[in-house]
Structure 1
Amino acid sequence: MRILLVEDDPDLGDAIARRLRAENCAVDLVDNGVDAQHLGETETYDAVVLDLGLPGKPGAEVLAAWRKGARAVPVLVLTAREAWADKVTAYKAGADDYLTKPFRMEELMMRLRAIVRRSAGHAAPQMVCGPLVFESQTGQFELDGLPLRLTAFEWRVLSQLMMRREAVVERLDLLERIYEGDADVDSNTLDVIIGRLRRKIGITLIETVRGRGYRLTAGVTP
């Protein structure tokens, strides 16, 4: 997953970013509403973690602007504001979930994975493609019942393919979702990652669709 994290407390922002990266996520961290709105309008993210009390532009206004511009990225509001009126404002602006500070990192991850899963159209937390199983709430892949060891980039690519299994995922879409904003993107790296994944899960599960991208398939129509 590629996550936009908008938090103006530098210590908290760094702590959340470290946890997200430890869970194999790519993270773009910004500390103000102006930059957040720009990134949300111009970059591709699987989800946003958004504070409300931001310098430059309030989080609720940023979110409302995204929704007005038809940006459908799922948004988890993370704030110290507990008042009912603040929650109503956030949800009316287009929030998908609302978590108040202080919080447990484990709960943040569970809520984040849930809104990403739901936005991809999956109600159940477990996803299956042939012998491959993805437990979305833990982020764990299993192959034939055994845990699958993956690098961060392998996990990002495979989770994107699993979320859209049996559908073609464009190369550009994959590249936009596995790298952080300041990364030096090399298209050839994607081919290397796909090759490593095929060696780990078998060559038949990931199909190359020439001129477009890749498809995770169990060989049957879902």
Structure 2
Amino acid sequence: MRPRVQVPPARLVTNIDMKKFVTILILFLAIFGLGIFLGWKINKKSQPAAITSQTILEALRERGFLVTQTNIINQSVKIDSGEQTFWQKLLWGQVVRAQAVVEVNVGVDLKKMTANDVRVAANKITIYMPQAEIFNSRVAGDVNVENKQGILKRLLEKDDGYNKAIAELTKQAELASATTAALEAANKKAQEEILRLVGYLARDKKAEVIVRGAHAD
């Protein structure tokens, strides 16, 4: 007699097993979908935004007045009351001598730039910047003032000459800082600074900065 071979009973798929399978499948699909979404977001952020003339213009205008040169000048001035007779000088004349260190800031006002000043081509960016100008000036430190007045002027007006001295000191220092050579030096530094800034915004393009009015467009 042959031995009886026992066949294991078939395993029935219950509702509980099916629910587990569906849950695992949904969880897998959710994780897979989340991974794809995060990868898309990261890749999108890593792609640089397109550089336009408006983007560059706004970045430059945000800098406001770009100070590129600060001149420290030991300035001396003499102020007199002009041509007068002997008696006029004796009675109403005034001579003010003053000396002080004056600081003059020179640069380029980037807020003056317009849309026509930025041109973006396939491989090149051209910037037309305003010419350098005086930004401000101030007396740094003490002001030495020598004030000589006529007899009546000293008695009736009591002008110590200080305000006149300050005004003339800053005026002469600004004139000394506004020479052609001084402004050309300030222009050159401004060009270098703008090139550096544009280089950060558009690393893959060449850039050129031209002083407005210095070259024909």
More RCO (CA 8 Å, sep 6+) = 2
Q: TM-score, normalised by structure 1?
A: 0.20
**Greater Rg over alpha carbons, structure:** 2
